[in-house]
Amino acid sequence: MTARNRPVSILMADDDSIMRILFEEFAMDNPDVNSLEFVLDGIELLDRLMLRSEYKNRTDLCMPDFILLDISMPRMNGRDALEEMARHEFLTSIPKIVMTSYDTEEDINEAYDMGASVFLAKPTSMGILTQNMECLIAYWYDCLSNPEFELKDARASWENWQFNMLESCA
């Protein structure tokens, strides 16, 4: 593990089995990831976060460090899940990373308007997934080490952080 606070725990809501397999491979090979848990849709995500339904009597579950959320899912999509999470104050402090293949400016703005902390296009290869996730984890470590960081400022902070990382690699 790198010299950071601690490994992160991730809760991922995505019905795409290939994405789940890729993320599981990433997590197994990355010491910065403590745990990766999967749910298949927005309803199961909310049940897990609120300890309802099959999660009701689970005493081993903790809140994730961040949520990876697909927009297009059955039963309850990511947009509706973001809106529902925004209604529960105890969920507003968890960063929500929207990852989807819909990446028009309108889609991006809509995700942020609904409470997304960061927007990422779905990775098209394991290399891109690894690069994106390592960058994202490093970003959150930087945010958490800054006492002035507020989650509501995550979009501007993320865009600035990405720009600075690209500049430093050039």
Mean pLDDT by 10 residues, the chain (170 residues): 64 92 88 90 94 83 89 90 91 87 79 84 84 80 71 63 50
Return the pLDDT at 11.
95
Return the pLDDT at 67.
94
Return the pLDDT at 156.
62
Domains and CATH numbers, the chain: 8-169 (3.40.50.2300)
Query: b/e map of 82-118 (b: 16 or more CB within 10 Å)?
Result: bebbeeeeebeebbbbbbbebeeeebbebbbebbbbb
**Beta sheet of 66-69, edge-to-edge order:** 33-39, 8-13, 66-69, 96-100, 118-121
Residue 47 β-bridge partners: none
